Amino acid sequence: MAASDEASALPVAGLRLAAISAGIKTPGRLDLVLLELAEGSNVAATFTRNAFCAAPVQLARAHLQASAPRYFLVNTGNANAGTGQPGLADALACCVALAGEAGVTPEAVLPFSTGVIGEPLPVATITAALPAALAGLADDQWWPAAEGIMTTDTRPKAASRQVDLDGVTVTLSGMAKGAGMIKPNMATMLAFLATDAAVDAGLLQSLWSEVVEHSFNRVTVDGDTSTNDAAMLVATGAAGNPLLTEAGDPRLPVLREALQSLALELAQALVRDGEGASKFVAVEVAAAASEAEALEVAYTIAHSPLVKTALFASDPNWGRLLAAIGRADVPGLDVDRIELRINDVLIAENGGRAAGYSEEQGVAAMSPTDIRVHVLLNRGESGATVWTSDLSYDYVRINAEYRT
């Protein structure tokens, strides 16, 4: 199902959501989201590795270790990052307030924030809105919730999958936000996925780490890892399937494939909605000596401002691509063996321009909205793909005006 309309996100038994306008930054905008997890749900998580991680990230990590989560509390308009000990106290105050309203322990509440860095969290504004958020909980609120977690995103991103696990139909739904400060490092901007399948906690974390590594950790807009990144997976167990406990369970590949597909759709939707983006670019590196080497080349291309501006202009300035490949940290790279293609047009080989290449072919290859950059290193059997966007005037404008 596509992440394009309200019908694209199905209810997940055992999970309810609400999105309300608390007035955190912009009056009338949905900016406070609450997720309620059924008792007994298992949760897997990945968080940013940014050393300046936000107060809610620090607290969510601690609470996840101390208790079984029952609520996720998400606010936009304020990142509560770069706020020191007062920021931690503010995040905890919100958890305590929600716990009191919901009748759970504060450790059962995981906080998440996104927005401007370095400003105090408006605790009173958030806590005053909690009764309304609790009253609004329902299982069909994925789309409003996806809207409620947005910052500079231009549209909500939510989607679902349904699969059969040995005769039991299970549902997977998810939402994600992020359009700038996008280059995940073991997590993503903000992503919340859930399934009603019953999965052992340890197996769920292992599965989630694997899925994140090949979806949210393969997208980049600008190469900046956020202070607030978090990617969460909930398994409520409400579908009633026999518990999945072993990595060798024959049902696990079915669930893994559906989860990977859902996560990749959401991750790619973030790139398509990248700040000011007009191009969606798949950078594929093949025949590398290792996956790490392939990723090094792919990210060097994807993070090059010169490459990204050429993509925006539909300018087949392929020399920028060669320069990016050549400066990647790949010892002993033999440039004479490299082949470069853009949307299946052979651009370069044998250390220079391909014999049959023409500028007209290059312009045609660079013009579509979706572009495939394919690099063949011819030094091994490994490969990797990274998804990115172009760099436009609007990216500069959006980020220059972010605080104003």
Q: Is the pLDDT of residue 396 over 90?
A: no
How do the domains of the chain map onto residue ranges? 6-270, 280-400
What percent of the chain shows pLDDT beyond 70?
Answer: 97
Is it true that 6-270 and 280-400 share their CATH fold?
no
- Active-site positions read 188
Tens digits of residue pLDDT in 22-55 = 999 999 999 999 999 999 999 999 998 888 899 9
Tokens 């010169």 belong to residue:
306
pLDDT given at position 262: 98
pLDDT band at 1 (very low <50, low <70, confident <90, very high): very low
* Strands laid side by side in the 109-113 sheet: 15-20, 32-37, 71-75, 109-113
What's the rounded mean pLDDT across residues 103-113? 98
d(CA 184, CA 400): 22
Give SS3 for 88. helix
Cβ atoms of 375 and 256 within 8 Å: the answer is no
* CATH class given for the domain over 280-400: alpha beta
Q: Is the pLDDT of residue 2 over 70?
A: no
CA angle (223 as vertex; 220, 228 as ends), nearest 5: 85
CATH 1.10.1740.10 for the 6-270 domain, yes or no: no
d(CA 279, CA 368): 8
pLDDT band at 5 (very low <50, low <70, confident <90, very high): low
Tens digits of residue pLDDT in 323-351 = 999 999 999 999 999 999 999 999 999 99
What's the rounded mean pLDDT across residues 105-113? 98
What percent of the chain shows pLDDT beyond 90?
Answer: 82
What's the rounded mean pLDDT across residues 195-208? 98
